[in-house]
Amino acid sequence: MSRQSKPMEAVVLLIDIGEPVSHEDKDGQSFLLKSKQCASRIIQRKIFSDAADQFSLIFVGSNKTDNDMDYPHIEVKQRWFVPPNWDLLRAIENMKTTDVNSADWLDGLIVAVNLLKHETEGRKFTSQKIVMLSNFATRLRSKDHLEDVIATLKEMKIKLVVIGPESDDDLSSEETKSNIQQKGEVLIGRIVDEVDGVMCGFAEAMSQLDHFQKFIGRAAPWHCDLEIGEDIFIPVTGYKKFAPKKLLTWKKKSIEKTPIIQETVFLQGDEEVEKSEVINGHLFGQTVVPISGDDKTSMALTTQKCCQIIGFTKKQNVPRHILVGDSAQYIVPRNEIEGAKIAVTALVKVLLEVDMVAIVRKVYCKNSAPKLGALIPTCEDASYFFYHVPLPFAEDERVVRLPSLSKVQPSQDQLDAVDHLIDDMDLTQIDEDEDPYSQLLNPAVEHLNNMVVLKALHPDSKLPSELNINIKNLLQPKPEILENASTSLDNIRTLFQLEEIEQKSYRKGAADLFKRGSTGNDTEVEVNPENLADSIVGIVQSTVTEIGTVDPEGDFLKLKELGEPFGKICDQMQKVIRKLIFTSSNAVGTRKPLAALTLLREQCKKMSPLTYNSFVASFKDDLVERGYSDFWEIIVQDKLGLITSVESEESTVSPDEADTFYQINKCESLSEQNYEMEAEDMLDML
């Protein structure tokens, strides 16, 4: 079964560039500038949505006459229909007004219809459209062909979109339209009504073009058999319900016509290595284990495409927090297969009745990795189907022990205030047809596309430091939501007072360390020899930015006092302790790392016992593995192991578990020397 191709529309952009469109409105912008913004946005949206539509470009009011019908001042700028590209966008951006004030916009419409009639022959366009941008301020040469134009538009089923001046209702009292312009609008309005087209002003058009068009495509079907046991096979089809929007790929996209050539070079130091001499490797601890192509092939898991039901379980056993993956699938009965719909409907109904889900093993295609998933039975609009959502394997799940919140005791007023805020900002009760949040766009994608357009059209310009106003609006809640929650937000501000804590600065200037003389105009410096050493030490200490091996305890306390994040300085202290033990010379001894470990434990006891317990557990393994059992015995003697629940309420470690932690299994305590002796004994036996 072949996949259906994308719909491809032939679009003619018909833009007026004559003298009448050069006049500025009350907002200081000319009609041509607005036309340029609108047409440019149309092309940009098509470029980034990867649409299959193709465009042609015609200017009305040009100094040149270039069309098959020899109508004056009508220039076919882009005759052949081409995909939206940067050259077309640059042509629109470079449009300039002319001094022509006698161009006939109806002639331009006739040329556009003629172009669609002849240039689309033999090409597989699914529809045709003319987008016309004009203020209709020029006198028509003749209206003789008006009825023929309307009849041809209807016969060819051409969609007509007219973007022109604002309606009379939207104009201020100071703004008036000429008699010619009013007659032109009446005439184009009649054409639009006759062909069932669309007519709007720039404000309405730009409100729909502010953001980039979302990619719209058909989900590719995934055909497979739903297997139950060895004898039951139900033909089903999977469709993606949603998939995350991916950003532009910098590897394959090019603004210019020059192709992008990718080259991969392997270097060992500064020397280039041939690709044939390179194999894959995996780190096992600190050892690189080489894996050749033959090894990789022999280790690969051979699988076949399938969707096997492993078993069934209660729906409560599959909580939302364990669902993984970045997309979900509809699993529906396969079309045109007799009995498939009956079987799927029966299975879904039974699972809904007993409130259970099916656990499946899914292999997307031959030799792809098997994945675990849940088939969640669903009934919507009298249709029975499954949602397939990936599940984690046992080794993928992480059990995170979070500290207790027993120390945080909010008042009843604070709890009520948060409840009211949640109620006021609740979006779950909004009707889906009126829900503006169901179509929210990704600000990161919008911003990146804007920046790419800017650099494509203006390569030498700098990127703006301020966000586009449309991007800022995407990052803000809707005004009506904020207005509804204004009272609750005021209560939150009142009940949850935030105090700014001033950080003490330890950076002293020279004027603070040395007393200046006060006599005469000349500046004299008084230096007290007794305090000179202390002053220099103060300068050194005031510039502490991270924990070092010279004075780890002092650095830790200094950084904590300066307001550095506690987790950050704990990580630094852990690295320093490891460095002092494993990489420093024997002259360092155990005093300094032991003192640092003691301080770290005391501070974590008050702030974050989980951080220390995680560190000391991995630190124990490293000490035993590397043969530093002597230092571990000192830790045991000084009771520097796990922080227990008796020492800190936030700890989940019992005293018995802490005592067990100090013990070392015999297999763990074998030193490097013992391993070498065993290896020599084995060689002797051989």
Report the share of the chain in percent with pLDDT over 70. 82
pLDDT in the model for residue 437: 61
pLDDT in the model for residue 436: 60
Q: Burial level of 503, CB count in 10 A (0-12/13-18/19+)?
A: exposed
CATH 3.40.50.2000 fits 9-209, yes or no: no
Domain boundaries along the sequence of the chain: 9-209, 219-248+260-394, 415-429+438-494, 546-662
pLDDT in the model for residue 673: 44
Which of 90-104, 158-172, 521-535 shows the lowest mean pLDDT across its residues? 521-535
- The class of domain 546-662 in CATH terms is mainly alpha
- Residue 443, phi then psi, degrees to nearest 5: -60, -35
Q: Which residues pair with 291 in a beta bridge?
A: 280
Kindly report the average pLDDT of the chain as a whole number.
82
Residues 599/572, Cβ–Cβ less than 8 Å? no
User: Which pTM does this prediction carry?
Assistant: 0.60
DSSP conformational letter for 668: T
Q: What is d(CA 176, CA 184) in angstroms, rounded to the nearest whole number?
A: 14
Q: What is d(CA 134, CA 13) in angstroms, rounded to the nearest whole number?
A: 11
pLDDT in the model for residue 4: 53
pLDDT in the model for residue 51: 80
pLDDT in the model for residue 681: 44
pLDDT in the model for residue 249: 65
Structure tokens belonging to residue 39: 């047409």
pLDDT in the model for residue 452: 87
Residue 686 confidence class, pLDDT cut points 50, 70, 90: very low
pLDDT in the model for residue 308: 95
pLDDT tens by residue, 332-388: 999 888 899 999 999 999 999 999 999 999 999 988 999 999 999 999 988 999 999
pLDDT in the model for residue 305: 94
- Ranked by mean pLDDT, which of 45-54, 168-177, 413-422, 632-641 comes out on top? 413-422
Alpha carbon of residue 94 to chain centroid: 33
Coil vs helix vs strand at 182: helix
- What is the number of alpha carbons within 13 Å of residue 370 lying toward its C-beta? 15
Alpha carbon of residue 140 to chain centroid: 51
Given a cut of 50, whether residue 547 has pLDDT beyond it is yes
Structure tokens belonging to residue 398: 């992480």
Residue 524 confidence class, pLDDT cut points 50, 70, 90: very low
CATH of domain 415-429+438-494: 1.10.1600.10
SS (H, E, C) 44-100: HHHHHCCCCCEEEEEEECCCCCECCCCCCCEEEEEEEEECCCHHHHHHHHCCCCCCC
Coil vs helix vs strand at 472: helix
AA letter at 554 = G
Pairing of β 266-268 and β 271-273? antiparallel
Over range 388-396, report the average pLDDT.
91
- Residue 575, phi then psi, degrees to nearest 5: -65, -40
pLDDT tens by residue, 194-228: 999 999 888 788 777 776 656 555 678 999 999 99
219-248+260-394: what fold? Answer: Ku70; Chain: A; Domain 2 (2.40.290)
Q: What is d(CA 513, CA 525) in angstroms, rounded to the nearest whole number?
A: 10
Q: Which residues contact 396 (CB under 8 A, 6 or more apart)?
A: 324
More confident residue, 401 or 656: 656
pLDDT tens by residue, 611-626: 898 898 888 888 888 8
